[in-house]
Structure 1
Amino acid sequence: MQLLTIPPGGRAFAHKHTTHETAIYALSGVSHVWHGEQLEHHSIVQPGDFFYIPADVPHLPYNPSRTESVTAIIARTDPNEQESVVLLPELEGLHPA
């Protein structure tokens, strides 16, 4: 498990975790997530929400707020989770968040 903070206006790179699932529990702030093979789905994650990302699903989380950070608890099914991260630069331009 890890505590994730996305600063105001921050975002991740489009990526996927090839071998494990990710479960997210939002603590504070409102984050947005593009997800799907071509980042075609969009979800808003608010405090108290649980968000699930299956293995091998591209996603791009971001914080649209200019003033408030996003904080969440992240749990993954692989203790070596960073080893299976695949960056997807070809999807970056789809949603410049």
Structure 2
Amino acid sequence: MESTLPTCTVVRSEEQYRGKQGLQYQMGISAQSTASQGLCLHLNTFLPGARAKAHLHQNHETAIYMLKGAVGMWYGEGLKEHLVVQAGDYLYIPANMPHLPYNLSETEEALAVLSRTDPNEQESVTLLPELDLVHL
């Protein structure tokens, strides 16, 4: 009888995709690559000058560790708040928090490890087009 219980899984993926929010991701741990039921872990590349679309993640928290570069982020109601996260910084984004991250550099990419409590990663993304033009 074959076991249907989840087991340990090594993922060696170079598969990349562009998320709904317009950023580049390298597939890591997710429901699609493992038996994950509660989290995803991907590599997020911000190309030089890259800017995401305003969005939030319905009912899911996000944790980020910046490996390289610096990213600015507008967040909160009406995207009125701002922060900068640099290499070596950790960033927490609560569930349902509107945000719009962007690469501060026009010449260097930024790289981050991203973890979310959504094992399907893109499923909880809700675009907020009414906020896309707030900070141009």
| TM superposition score normalised by structure 1 | 0.96
Report 1 or 2 for greater relative contact order, CA contacts < 8 Å, sequence distance ≥ 6.
Answer: 1
- Per the alignment, residue 57 of structure 1 pairs with 97
Residue pairs, 1:59-78, within 5 angstroms: 59-78=99-118
1:56-82 superposed Cα distances (whole Å, 9 cap, x missing partner) = 000000012111100000000110221
- Per the alignment, residue 48 of structure 1 pairs with 88
- Inter-partner Cα distance in structure 2 for 1:72 and 1:11: 14
- Inter-partner Cα distance in structure 1 for 2:133 and 2:107: 25
Q: Aligned AA for 2:114?
A: I
Match of 2:65 among 25, 35, 38: 25
Match of 2:75 among 22, 35, 38: 35
- Per the alignment, residue 130 of structure 2 pairs with 90
Structure of greater Rg? 2
Secondary structure in 2 matching 1:11: coil
Match of 1:7 among 42, 47, 50: 47
| TM superposition score normalised by structure 2 | 0.69
Q: 4+ runs of 1 displaced by more than 2 Å?
A: none
User: Which runs of no fewer than 5 residues in structure 1 stay unpaired?
Assistant: none
Task: Report the Cα offset of residue 28 of structure 1.
Answer: 0.2
Task: Report the Cα offset of residue 93 of structure 1.
Answer: 1.2
- Inter-partner Cα distance in structure 2 for 1:62 and 1:56: 19
- Inter-partner Cα distance in structure 1 for 2:67 and 2:119: 22
User: Which runs of no fewer than 5 residues in structure 2 stay unpaired?
Assistant: 1-40
CA RMSD of aligned residues (A): 0.7
Task: Report the Cα offset of residue 17 of structure 1.
Answer: 0.3
1:27-55 superposed Cα distances (whole Å, 9 cap, x missing partner) = 00011000102111100000000011000
